[in-house]
Amino acid sequence: MVSILGVGLGVAALLVVQTVMNGFGEEHRLRIRESFGDCVVIANTPIEGPDVLMARLKADPAVLSASAYTEGPALARRGAFSGVAFVRGTDPLAKDQPARQYVVAGSFDGLDDGRVILGIGLARTLRVAVGDKIELWSPVMAEQAEQGKAPLPASLEVCAIVRTGFTEVDDRAAIIPLRRFRELWSLGERAHGVTLRLKDPANAVATAARLNVGKTGLNFIPWQEIKKNFLEAIRFEKTMLFFLMFIITLVASFSIGSTLFSAVIRRTREVGVLVALGAQRWQLVGLFGVQGLLIGALGTALGFILTWGILYFREGILNLINSLFGNGDMVANVYQFSKVPLHYDTTDFVVAAAFTLIVTTVAGLVPALWAAGRKPSEAMRDV
């Protein structure tokens, strides 16, 4: 019973960590896609006639939608507070604007040529709330000043504040209409890039490569490549945690080996009797091996149930940890997730089950081989 519990806890620890890590990974991937699009089309120079390019791309069966965007740094200022804003010009009427779902104050629909949407970090830097006004200085204005002109900054009212969960986005993001951006940056009808929504985002790498064929001067970057280092870091973190949890499960398996070994030693006399009655070596090995396998199977099943239970009540467990250690809501504060994200991966469950069954069976077989190798006359003398 203790062995089964040990295996169950090991399996549960492994799967809970893996499932939560998968959840974080999936959530981050989703945020990347929503923040940057499934695929981004960029060029070394601003794209001339982006409407033509968008029309061609929209005609592709793999593409759901395409929208032009512009982006560039600017100085944002309100009174004595200023910060560097990374301004994005986008179509305010587009219904699939991902920023819509990250609005924490105000309304995305209020965006027009006289208004701006700010990332929460930038809004804090500038000490502004919805309804306040800020000034935006574009690099073009600096050029104009150099030429002896006296440009006026764009005065924009904050109509919404967004929080994406990506600090680097939230601390610098400013969204204005595409038309207004082009005006402030003197871009004419050009755009810096086009974001694509794909029917099958998971297949973005292949789709991007296919779409890129024959489009000289353009770079199609799938979402997986946009934050490659970040995604690699998450994957590496998951691998390291798997390794640590693997050791925990291995320790649990050693306890099974020790328990079974004690059981075999306790039953040495009976093993001797079985041999005297004609039991073959393989029968004894099978008997104790099956015992190990059974412990592994029951432990794995218990581990699956515990995993489900822990993950089902994860919010309560997290609240308890937060209240005990006074860390506040870490998930919300650090990761900006409303709840602990989950993603069940069948492969993790299959690997955990297979690994546990193999280890527990081997843990049962080793003492069985020892017992089966003893002389029955000696074994029967043991009490």
Partner 1 sequence: MSKVVLQAAGLKKSFASPNGPLAVLRAVDLVVHAGESVSIRGSSGSGKTTLLQLLGGLETPEAGEVFINHAVQGLVTPRKLLGHGVGFVFQNYQLMPELTALENVVLAAKIIGQSRVEAKARELLQLVGLGDRLRHLPSQLSGGECQRVAIARALINEPAVILADEPTGNLDETTGKEVMKLLLDVVAQRQTALVLVTHSREFAEKAGRRLVLAGGVLSPA
Which residue ranges make up the site for partner 1 (CB under 8 A)? 269-270, 273-279, 283, 375-377, 380
Q: How far apart are CA 67 and CA 70, in angstroms?
A: 10
Q: Give the nearest distance from C-beta 272 to partner 1 in angstroms.
A: 8
Which of the 8 DSSP states describes residue 1?
-
Q: Are strands 154-162 and 115-119 parallel, antiparallel or unpaired?
A: parallel
Q: Is the Cβ–Cβ distance between 273 and 309 less than 8 Å?
A: no
- The single residue listed with the structure tokens 């759901």 is 64
Q: Give the nearest distance from C-beta 277 to partner 1 in angstroms.
A: 5
Cα angle 180-186-189, degrees, rounded to a multiple of 5: 75
User: Which amino acid belongs to residue 94?
Assistant: A
Residues 6+ away with beta carbon under 8 Å from 289 = 361, 364, 365, 368
Q: Give the nearest distance from C-beta 284 to partner 1 in angstroms.
A: 10
Q: Give the nearest distance from C-beta 379 to partner 1 in angstroms.
A: 9
Q: Give the nearest distance from C-beta 31 to partner 1 in angstroms.
A: 59
Q: Which of 218/380 has CB closer to partner 1? A: 380
Q: Give the nearest distance from C-beta 5 to partner 1 in angstroms.
A: 22
Q: Give the nearest distance from C-beta 7 to partner 1 in angstroms.
A: 23
Q: Is 74 exposed, middle or buried (0-12, 13-18, 19+ CB in 10 A)?
A: buried
Q: Give the nearest distance from C-beta 241 to partner 1 in angstroms.
A: 42
Q: How far apart are CA 370 and CA 92, in angstroms?
A: 75
Which of the 8 DSSP states describes residue 133?
E
Q: Which of 238/267 has CB closer to partner 1? A: 267
Q: Which of 268/336 has CB closer to partner 1? A: 268
Q: Which of 74/275 has CB closer to partner 1? A: 275
Residues 6+ away with beta carbon under 8 Å from 247 = none
Q: How far apart are CA 68 and CA 89, in angstroms?
A: 9
Q: Which of 118/274 has CB closer to partner 1? A: 274
Q: How far apart are CA 259 and CA 269, in angstroms?
A: 17
Which of the 8 DSSP states describes residue 153?
P
Q: Which of 72/376 has CB closer to partner 1? A: 376
Q: Which of 1/150 has CB closer to partner 1? A: 1
Angle subtended by helix axes 178-185 and 139-146, to nearest 10: 20
Q: Which of 275/306 has CB closer to partner 1? A: 275
